[in-house]
Amino acid sequence: MALDPPERPAEPAPSRRRRGLLVTAAACAVLAVGAWAVATGIVEIPERFNPWAPLDVAAPPNWLTGFKLERARREPARCLAALAQTGMQYDLLPDRVTGPGCGFKNAVRLRFAGVRLGTAPSLSCPMALSFFMWEHHALQPAARQRFGQPVAAIEHLGSYACRNVNRGEGAVPGASRSRHATADALDVAGLTLADGRRITVLQAWPRSSAASTDDPAALLLRDAHRGACRFFNGVLGPDYNAAHSDHFHLETGGYDMCR
């Protein structure tokens, strides 16, 4: 009668852990070598798929766009270099402190952004760059999809203001500073299409977040709000609270939120 071979003794747990560590270390080494080869130019990949390449503001967004945009927002020189690609018309503003927790650095006065803006807003470079990305890659495509024409003008309620956070009853004493206090926010109230049609958040935004609608103006605003969440750190709209019933609050540098 044939005998079954003896069972192989279980591999000690420490040996399995060592093997796992070796595999992990080897994988990390391979990734590090690959990253070094790409970063030094030994291996060339298209810029849109190269995480070390600068942000191309005109390129269609992909899975690396958010990473490149965030890096540009963190580095003043990189931000200004990206902003120079946009074709927007702006004036550089000197760094300025206007009060406790108020003022701006690396900021611009935005005179023209591919759309008319009314009063030229003062925006930090990160905010201006995010505004372009939103207008170019989210708002305009949505307008063409819903109305077959571009947005010609954007109405805003202001950007820089030395004040605290507004929670619905005006600026709250003792609250933290608003992102407006550092020119890192813009309140968008509406837009005008190329044919002159005016669409405002107050009038066209669906009053219920769960409501379905086939109104192209409401759908455009929904698209604009959703698209803003891709390019700004913080987006607040009418569904957030009554204080935002007539505008979108767009900001960079604060907490990530899309409401």
Q: pLDDT band at residue 94, thresholds of 50, 70 and 90? A: very high
At 254 the pLDDT is 81
On whether the CB atoms of residues 80 and 56 are closer than 8 A, the answer is no
On whether the CB atoms of residues 258 and 227 are closer than 8 A, the answer is no
**Alpha-carbon gap, residue 96 to 65, rounded angstroms:** 30
Angle at 223 between CA 219 and CA 229, to 5 degrees: 150
3 state DSSP class of 98: strand
For the purposes of burial, counting CB atoms within 10 Å of the CB of 163, is it exposed (0-12), middle (13-18) or buried (19 or more)? middle
Q: What is the DSSP letter of 210?
A: T
**Alpha-carbon gap, residue 200 to 217, rounded angstroms:** 9
Residues 6+ apart with CB under 8 A from 238: 201, 205, 207, 244, 245, 246
What's the chain's average pLDDT?
Answer: 86
Q: pLDDT band at residue 206, thresholds of 50, 70 and 90? A: confident
Q: pLDDT band at residue 35, thresholds of 50, 70 and 90? A: very low
Q: Is the pTM of this model over 0.95?
A: no
What mean pLDDT do residues 88-102 have? 95
